[in-house]
């Protein structure tokens, strides 16, 4: 079946602009996660959704970052007033709400802030 | 919160040799430990995982061991092949869809 998809695959924006990144999880997966991967670095947790609610937002680096999920499916990560340090690959993952913890990752969105 | 340390940061081996990557974690509540392989420009792919109720798990050339007392776990790849070359990440979580805390990655190069 279809895996996790993300759009756009690449986004170049100017400092100060807002951007929206989209994630389509695997159908039926109720848990959705956003991570950020800076160049040559590991993956940094941003936010976790269970259904449409976000019980863990602890990784969001500032109030410029927000995310929502509607209909228990698609999620959007919004970064307002982008800064150069926001440049990174933003990865989305999803998993089933069962005892299985496996998270399946999307291909990521590469964000470049000029 | 949880902290995961991973070593080495780079590892070069000859084809056919074994490779070992080690991780330590800090939170005794963590009970799920996956390993992901990430090829250049690609998404992370789960290659093996282990839960805290077992000490070792093997899948063909790949094995993972877990020492809960010492809070460390390791990835073992035997008979390495050039296609094993990638960045490998360990991670830990408290399980049941909790967030993953990742190590900083190990770049493995397998030379023919």
Mutate to test the interface with A, among B9, B97, B105 (most CBs of A within 10 A): B97
d(CA B51, CA B58): 13
pLDDT averaged over 10-residue windows placed end to end, chain B, 112 residues = 93 98 94 94 94 90 96 97 97 79 96 93
Q: Which residues of A touch B106 (CB under 8 A)?
A: none
pLDDT at B98: 80
Express as a percent the part of chain A with pLDDT over 90. 75
Q: In which band, very low, low, confident or very high, does the pLDDT at A100 lie, cut at 50, 70 and 90?
A: low
Report the gap between the CA of B15 and the closest CA in chain A (Å): 25
Q: Is the pLDDT of residue A87 over 90?
A: yes
pLDDT at A14: 97
Report the gap between the CA of A16 and the closest CA in chain B (Å): 27
Least CB–CB distance from B104: residue in A42, A56, A95? A42
Q: In which band, very low, low, confident or very high, does the pLDDT at A39 lie, cut at 50, 70 and 90?
A: confident
Q: In which band, very low, low, confident or very high, does the pLDDT at A102 lie, cut at 50, 70 and 90?
A: confident
Q: Which residues of B touch A105 (CB under 8 A)?
A: 36, 43-45
10 Å CB burial of residue A70 (0-12, 13-18, 19+) is exposed
> Mean pLDDT, to the nearest integer, of A6-15?
97
d(CA A103, CA B95): 11
Q: In which band, very low, low, confident or very high, does the pLDDT at A61 lie, cut at 50, 70 and 90?
A: very high
Q: Which residues of A touch B50 (CB under 8 A)?
A: none
Q: Is the pLDDT of residue A99 over 70?
A: no
Q: Nearest 10 degrees: CA dihedral of A77, A78, A82, A83?
A: -30
Q: Is the pLDDT of residue A84 over 80?
A: yes
Q: Is the pLDDT of residue A23 over 70?
A: yes
| Cross-strand bridge partners of residue A68 | A76
**C-beta neighbour count of A67 within 10 angstroms:** 22
pLDDT at A56: 87
Residue in the block written with tokens 């061991």: B65
């Amino acid at each position: 079946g279809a895996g996790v998809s993300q759009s756009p695959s690449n986004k170049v924006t100017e400092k100060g602009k807002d951007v929206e990144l989209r994630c389509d999880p695997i159908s039926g997966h109720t848990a959705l996660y956003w991570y950020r991967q800076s160049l040559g670095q590991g993956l940094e947790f941003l936010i976790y959704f269970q259904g449409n609610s976000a019980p863990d937002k602890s990784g969001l680096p500032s109030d410029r970052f927000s995310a929502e999920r509607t209909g228990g499916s698609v999620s959007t990560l919004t970064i307002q007033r982008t800064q150069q340090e926001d440049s990174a690959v933003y990865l989305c993952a999803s998993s089933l709400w069962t005892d299985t913890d496996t998270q399946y990752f999307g291909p990521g969105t590469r964000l470049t802030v000029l | 919160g949880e902290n995961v340390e991973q070593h080495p940061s780079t590892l070069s081996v000859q084809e056919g040799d074994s490779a070992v990557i080690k991780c330590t974690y800090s939170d005794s509540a963590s009970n799920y430990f996956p390993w992901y392989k990430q090829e250049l420009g690609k998404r992370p792919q789960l290659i093996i995982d282990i839960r805290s109720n077992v000490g070792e798990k093997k899948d063909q050339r790949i094995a993972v061991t877990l020492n809960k007392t010492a809070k460390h776990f390791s990835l073992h790849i035997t008979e390495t092949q050039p296609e094993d070359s990638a960045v490998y990440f360990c991670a830990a979580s408290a399980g049941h869809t909790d967030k993953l805390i990742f190590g900083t990655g190990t770049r493995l190069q397998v030379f023919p």
